[in-house]
């Protein structure tokens, strides 16, 4: 009897059994499509709105670079409590740069605090195109930094905090060397101190009492 039932043509089978595969396929295709479409809804309702990028007093957008994140643990009765501190460099890549330090129990919060401090402590730097006008050396604590001008196309030959500061201020060609301590905060502050010591030709002429010569 089983062989006879299997040998029946498809036309003689009940309509419900003949349509089952097609209906199931339609349901899978339709349901899957709707679910995939619902992914956009998840992105719309679940995603956070992106915060506006910070700007300086002139309206220029600031670039933030995280130099170092430190984790500190405190042993208490119930176990360990972790806190974080972040060192952030902020600059508009047009001659202004600042550094900030923030502490919090979460990484994102300490970076946000450090960024706010860096935005409020911007200093102006005298540049010569894509490099610095002259060689400069500065110390801050144990950090000692030497900066030298470089020809176009050289790039930023520096590392760590020195590179972060140079890129944030807008220097594209420079030779740098960190001579003293490797403490990130001291190296960054020594670099900013060195950049703030830069003087261009007009400043030097003004200090010497010379008037600016007119181009012929």
In the predicted model, is pLDDT for residue 190 greater than 90? yes
Lowest mean pLDDT among 4-8, 59-63, 78-82: 4-8
- Once rounded to an integer, what is the mean pLDDT over residues 127-152? 93
In the predicted model, is pLDDT for residue 150 greater than 90? yes
Percent residues over pLDDT 90 in the chain: 56
- Once rounded to an integer, what is the mean pLDDT over residues 112-139? 92
* Distance (Å, whole) CA 145 – CA 162: 8
Question: How much is the pLDDT for 24?
Answer: 47
pTM surpassing 0.75?
no
98 has which bridge partners?
Answer: 90
Question: How much is the pLDDT for 214?
Answer: 58
Both structure tokens of 99: 């550094």
- Once rounded to an integer, what is the mean pLDDT over residues 65-72? 94
- The angle at the Cα of 127, spanning 183 to 120, to the nearest 5 degrees, equals 55
In the predicted model, is pLDDT for residue 148 greater than 50? yes
Q: pLDDT band for 114, please (50, 70, 90 cuts).
A: very high
Question: How much is the pLDDT for 135?
Answer: 94
> Hey, where are the domains in the chain?
63-202
In the predicted model, is pLDDT for residue 152 greater than 80? yes
On whether the 63-202 domain is CATH 1.20.120.80, my answer is no
Both structure tokens of 8: 């029946």
């Amino acid at each position: 009897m089983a062989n006879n039932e299997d040998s029946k043509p498809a036309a003689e089978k009940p309509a419900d059994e003949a349509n089952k595969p097609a209906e199931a396929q339609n349901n899978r295709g339709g349901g899957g499509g709707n679910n995939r479409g619902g992914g956009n809804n998840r992105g719309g309702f679940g995603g956070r709105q992106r915060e506006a990028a910070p700007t300086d007093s002139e309206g220029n957008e600031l670039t933030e670079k995280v130099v170092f994140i430190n984790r500190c643990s405190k042993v208490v009765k119930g176990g360990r409590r972790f806190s974080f501190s972040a060192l952030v460099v902020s600059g508009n890549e047009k001659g202004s740069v600042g550094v900030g330090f923030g502490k919090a129990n979460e990484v994102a919060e300490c970076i946000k605090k450090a960024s706010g401090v860096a935005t409020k402590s911007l200093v102006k730097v005298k540049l010569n195109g894509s490099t610095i006008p002259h060689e400069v050396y500065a110390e801050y604590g144990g950090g000692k930094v030497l900066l030298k001008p470089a020809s176009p196309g050289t790039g930023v030959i520096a590392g760590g905090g020195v590179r972060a500061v140079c890129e944030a201020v807008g220097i594209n060609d420079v030779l740098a060397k960190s001579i003293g301590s490797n403490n990130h905060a001291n190296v960054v502050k020594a670099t900013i101190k060195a950049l703030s010591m830069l003087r261009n030709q007009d400043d030097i002429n003004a200090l010497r009492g010379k008037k600016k010569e007119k181009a012929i």
